[in-house]
Amino acid sequence: MLTFYHCPGTRSVMILTLLEEAGAPYTIHKVDVRAGAGGDAHFRAASPYGKVPAIRDENCAINETGAIAIYLADKLSAGKLAPTLDDPRRGDYLRWIITCVAAFDPALVHKISGSAAEARFQASLDKVLGFVKTTLASRPYLLGDELTTPDILLAFMLRFAKAVGALPDDKVFEDYLARNAARPASKRAQEIDQKLSAA
Ligand SMILES: N[C@@H](CCC(=O)N[C@@H](CS)C(=O)NCC(=O)O)C(=O)O
C-alpha cells in the first residue's frame, strides 16, 4: 500500500488532493515538520532533507512535490489526471507542473520573505500570474475542459498567494479557485487535513 507522508496545513495537501482525485488506496503517515525534530526514522528514510510531501510506494521513495505529482498521476490516473506520453498536451502539462513548483512557488516565497531582490521577484510573480490569467480566461482548467494534475498544484499556489495578499482581485482567479474548491476530492482532502490537524 502506498504510504503518504503528510503534515497538515502545509503544501503536502496538494498530494493529498491528488490522491483523492485519483481514488487509489493509500495510508497517511502524519509528520509534524514544525516540531523541529526532523520527523521519525520512516519519514527521514523517504525524505532525505526532512520535508513534506514524500511517499513510499513498493520499492521506491520520492520527495519533492513536482516529482511525486508526476509519478502518481502517471501511475494512478494515466489518461485522466495525466495526459499520456503520446498526447499532444503532454508538454504543456509538464510545463504547468514545473511552472507551479519552480517558478510560482519561489517567486511567491521571495516576495513573502521580503528579500533584497523583492522587486525582481515581484516582476516574476506578475509575469507568472499574467500567464495563468491569460490561459484561464478561455478555459475552465489549464489544459481545457477537464482538471489535470497541474490544476491541483496551481489551485494551492493561488490560495497561498491569496492568503498572503499577493493575488490581485480578479474574477478569473476567483472563479478558478471556486471551481477547484467545489470538487468532491478537494472537499474530502480539506476535511482529512483538518481532522489530522486537530488530532
Ligand atoms: N521543494 C519542496 C519544498 C518542501 C517544503 O518546503 N515543505 C515544507 C512544508 S510546506 C517542509 O517540510 N518544511 C519543513 C522544514 O523545512 O523543515 C517541495 O515542493 O516538495
Residue 32 Cβ < 6 Å to ligand 1:
no
AA identity, residue 38: G
Residue 101 Cβ < 6 Å to ligand 1:
yes
Burial of 7 from C-beta contacts in 10 A (0-12 / 13-18 / 19+): buried
Residue 122 Cβ < 6 Å to ligand 1:
no
Given a cut of 70, is residue 100 above it in pLDDT?
A: yes
Q: Which helix (H) or strand (E) holds 60?
A: strand 60-63
pLDDT at 113: 81
pLDDT at 111: 81
CA of 85 to the centre of ligand 1 (A): 29
Residue 6 Cβ < 6 Å to ligand 1:
no
| Domain span(s) for CATH 1.20.1050.10 in the chain | 90-183
The pTM assigned to this predicted structure is 0.96
Fold category of 90-183 in CATH: Glutathione S-transferase Yfyf (Class Pi); Chain A, domain 2 (1.20.1050)
What order of strands is seen across the sheet that includes strand 2-6? 26-30, 2-6, 54-57, 60-63
Q: Average pLDDT for residues 77-81, to the nearest whole number?
A: 98
Residue 52 Cβ < 6 Å to ligand 1:
yes
pLDDT one-digit tens code per residue, 43-58: 999 999 999 999 999 9
What distance in Å separates the CA atoms of residue 149 and residue 81, rounded to the nearest whole number? Answer: 5
pLDDT one-digit tens code per residue, 101-148: 999 999 898 888 876 666 666 778 899 999 999 999 999 999 999 999
| Domain span(s) for CATH 3.40.30.10 in the chain | 2-80
Looking at 3.40.30.10, 3.40.190.10, 3.30.70.270, 3.40.50.620, the CATH number of the domain 2-80 comes to 3.40.30.10
pLDDT one-digit tens code per residue, 15-51: 999 999 999 999 999 999 988 777 889 999 999 999 9
